[in-house]
Every structure is written in structure tokens, then in C-alpha cells.
Structure 1
Amino acid sequence: MNTEQLFENIKRKGSYLCVGLDTDIRKIPRYLLDATDPVFAFNKEIVDATADVAVAYKPNLAFYEMLGVQGWSSLEKTVNYIRYNHPDIFIIADAKRGDIGNTASMYARAFFDHLDFDAVTVAPYMGEDSVKPFLTYLDRWIVLLALTSNKGAFDFQFMEDKATGEKLFEKVLKTSSQWGTTENMMYVVGATKAEELAGIRQIIPNHFLLVPGVGAQGGSLSEVSKYGMNEQCGLLVNSSRAIIYASDGEDFAEKARENALKVAAEMKEILKLNKLI
């Protein structure tokens, strides 16, 4: 999926919602535990309930890896189900990989050749050669960690160069933007750092941003959109817990849909305000 296709889907749905499939087997409704594959059963219901307003899904791999082989099976079935039943959806592996080139090549093969994700989150700490193997895949993306939503972001990401005053995350943006293009590289920018988005857009005006932290983490959709939106929207705003765990009963999918619709309705108004739909 390229930028134009992603933007067309945003306009068609009037939404730039990414639903995080952080599926914790300890939190899903108890009755689903009787299913052959409880995690997949949960994901399937969430996807079917929200696919008309979501433009992306983002499984967080930790929630699948902790279940071992069964978790990987659930993940693969989830991706295949979305691909077959909702082919317009952009699917992101929230894996945060980052290793030397040969290892990065194996990760790229795992997520793009085997699991058929559109994108994978990648940590930039080891530099260009740890990122480039992911960029060799046509019509696939990396989502590079730039400015995260957790409080630990202040440990390193805001460190300043004493000579220039440039923050570390700004250096990451400026350097890494030379490695790929707006057609194969996005960036993670946390919603809880919305005040930094105007400056980030000065550095990377045309890249898509994956923005976690709206919902349970307290990020503001209106603030993120005000400072982060560009002429092609340029935003995938993620909400995980606030949607998928809206209920722990048999109405979980219905309640997830209700919460997704609320977010999507706000997004539609913002898109109209910015004359994008």
C-alpha cells in the first residue's frame, strides 16, 4: 500500500484510526477461553466490529510472543483474516525491532514474506545498516521510533547537543529521513508529546506519523491533529485499550465499536475542518 492508497482510504472512511490489537489473554472475556484459539476469536470480533472505521490495525507482538507457538499462530491467523476479509486495511507489526543488518534482514523476511504485514516498527539506535534491510521491500514500510509517549522518553530522547541545541529525537528525524522516502518510512510520535509536533513537521512535513497514546494514555486527538496533520492527513492515530477493552462481557465487540465510532466521528469532523474530505 502506498501513500496515495492510504490517503484515499482515510478519505473514504473519514477516519485515520489505527486500532491496537494488544490482546492480553488475561483481559479478554472469560467465555472466549473455551474457544480453540481465544486470542484469534477475540481479534476477529474486534476487527469485524471496527473495520469500517479503522484504516489500520497494529498487533503488539509482545502479547502474542508471551504465548509461544500458540501466540504466533494467533497472530498469523489474525493477519490472514484481515487480509482476506478487509483487504483495504493497513497492518502494522508493533515489534520495535533493531539489530545488525544480517539479523534485520531476517526480521524483515519474517514480517513481510512470512506474516505479510504492511509495516513494522523499528528502533533506530543501531543506525542505518540496521534499518536498510527493511527498506528493500517494495510497498512495505518501516515505522521508526522517533518520540515515544512513555515518561522514559525524557531519559534520552530530549538530550540536547550543547553546540546546536538540537534534541536527540530531532537528530534521529533529520538523519533517518535520508535513509528512506515518504513512501516507505513513517515515524512514531507519541500523542502525549503533541506540543512537539509542530517542530517535527518542520523537519518531516510529508511523512506519515503513527501516533500512539490517545485514549487510555491521555493524549489529545484534537491537539495531535492540530499540530501533526498535513495535506494528506499524514496521521495514523492509534487507540488500543480504550477500544478493545471497552467491555469484558459478551458485548465486548459492540462496546468496542461504540468507542471506535466516537473517535472516528471526531476524526471526520477534523478532516472536514481541514478540507481533506
Structure 2
Amino acid sequence: MTTAQLVSQIKQKKSFLCIGLDVDLDKIPEHLLVLEDPIFEFNRAIIDATHHLCVAYKPNTAFYEAYGIKGWQALKKTIQYLNKNYPEIFTIADAKRGDIGNTSTMYAKAFFTDLAFDSITVAPYMGKDSVEPFLAFKDKHTIMLALTSNKGAFDFQTLTVPKQELYKEVLQVSKSWKNSENLMYVVGATKAEYFKEIRKIVPESFLLVPGVGAQGGNLQDVCKYGLSKNIGLLINSSRGIIYASKEKDFATIAALKAQELQSQMKILLKDFI
């Protein structure tokens, strides 16, 4: 999917909502547990109920890997279901990969070629040759960790090394990498005050923003500093939507929670549409 296609979807749906599909069998409704593939059935119900309210889905691969081969099969069935039934949706493999060149190439093939995701999250700690293999894939996007929403982000990401904070250095240097136009960045919603500085470095890049909802991030604050000329934001919500109910109406309640965010986004987008 191209960036232009993503922007078109945002304007059409009046939404820049991304829904995280982080499936924990201890948290899904009990009536699903008797099914052959409860993870996929949970995902399918959530997707069917919310696809018109969001522009992206983001399965965190750890929640699938934890269940071994059955979890991986559920992930594959989920992405196949999305690509077949809702091909306009932007898909994100939240895998946070990052390794030396040959290994990164294989990770890229796994998620871009075999699973056919539109994008993948990566960790930049090993530098250019660990990220560029992902950037080589046409119409695929690499979403690089920049300033994350967790408390531990302050351990390294905001340290000055030596002229500016590390996260700023990561953003600045990454712009020089081959095919850097395919880069997006992860910036946590709990760091809303940093968005103004981030936009000085990457004014038009898309930012994937976790942390709205359960983690305490504020949508209005993020948009105040983070919206760009081409909108440039994907706001992710996971637990606040998919686990809003453990009853048989879980998908309906999830849609109501998604609609609450979409309604706020519609107002914030009035100057863009």
C-alpha cells in the first residue's frame, strides 16, 4: 500500500485509528475458547465489527508466538482474512525486529512476502544495515521505534549524545538511509509534548502512536503537535477497544469504543477533508 492510498482511506473514513489485535486467551470471552481457533475467531469478529471505523490493524506478534504453531497459524489466517475481505486496510506487523543485514532480509521476506503485511515495526539499535533491508521492498513501510510510550524510554532515548537527544539523532540519521521515504516512526502518545520537536525533524512522515487509552495518552494533545499536512498520524488503541467486554456482545462493544475515537478524529480532521 502506498502512502497516498493510506491518506485516501483516512479522508474517506474520517479516521486515523489503528486497532491493535493483541490477543490474550486469558482475556477473550470464554465462549470462544471451545472453538478450534479462538484467536482467529476473536480477531475476525473484531475486524468485521470495526473495519469501517479504522484504517489499520496491528497484531503484536508476541501475542501469537506465545501460543506456538497454533498462534502463528492464527496470525496468518488473520492477515489473509484482512487482505481478502478488507484490502483497503493498512496492516502492521508489530514485530520490532532488527538484526544484521541477511537476517533482516529474511525477517522482511517473512512479513512482507509470506504474510503480506503492509508494514513492520523495527528496532534501530543496530543501525542502517539492520533497517535498509526492510526499506528495499516496494510499497512496504518500515515503522522504526523513535520515542516509545513506556517509562523505560527515558533510560536511553532522551539522553544527549552528544549534541542532541538520542531519539532526535535516530530520526535525523535515518533520513539519510536508502529508500528512507518508506520509513514511518513509533512515537508514544504519553510523550505528547515531544511531538513538536519531532515534527521539526520529520515534518511529513507518518507516526504510529500507541498509548492512547489504557496507557493514558491524550488524543487531542497528540494531534495538536503531531498532525502534518498529509495528516501523518496513526493512533493505535488495543486493550481499550478489543477488551471492552468479555461477554458475547464483545465485538459490538468494541465497535462502540472504536466509534468514540473515530468521532473525535472526525472533528480533528475537519480542516483536512
Query: What TM-score range do you get, normalising by the shorter chain?
Result: over 0.9
1:198 maps to which residue?
Answer: 196
| In the alignment, structure 1 residue 265 sits paired with structure 2 residue 263 | yes
Contact 1:198 1:227 in 2 (8 A): yes
2:211 maps to which residue?
Answer: 213
Return the offset for 1:161: 2.8
Q: Which amino acid aligns with 1:46?
A: I
Contact 2:199 2:226 in 1 (8 A): yes
| In the alignment, structure 1 residue 184 sits paired with structure 2 residue 209 | no
Contact 1:3 1:183 in 2 (8 A): no
Contact 1:18 1:239 in 2 (8 A): yes
Contact 2:244 2:250 in 1 (8 A): yes
1:239 maps to which residue?
Answer: 237
| In the alignment, structure 1 residue 276 sits paired with structure 2 residue 244 | no
* Greater alpha carbon shift after TM alignment, 2-11 vs 180-189: 180-189
Show CA shifts across 1:150-169 (max 9, x none).
0000000011134x2x0000
Show CA shifts across 1:149-199 (max 9, x none).
00000000011134x2x0000000000121155641100000000100000
Q: Number of residues paired by the alignment?
A: 273
Return the offset for 1:136: 1.0
**Root mean square deviation of aligned Cα:** 0.8
TM-score by length of 2: 0.99
CA distance in 1, matches of 2:248, 2:29: 7
Q: Which consecutive unaligned segments of at least 5 residues does structure 1 have?
A: none
Return the offset for 1:91: 0.3
| In the alignment, structure 1 residue 55 sits paired with structure 2 residue 55 | yes
The share of aligned pairs that are identical, in percent, is: 58
The correspondence of residues 82-161 of structure 1 with structure 2, limited to 5 A, is: 82-161=82-161
CA distance in 2, matches of 1:115, 1:180: 24
Return the offset for 1:141: 0.6
Q: Which consecutive unaligned segments of at least 5 residues does structure 2 have?
A: none
Contact 1:182 1:206 in 2 (8 A): no
Contact 2:143 2:186 in 1 (8 A): yes
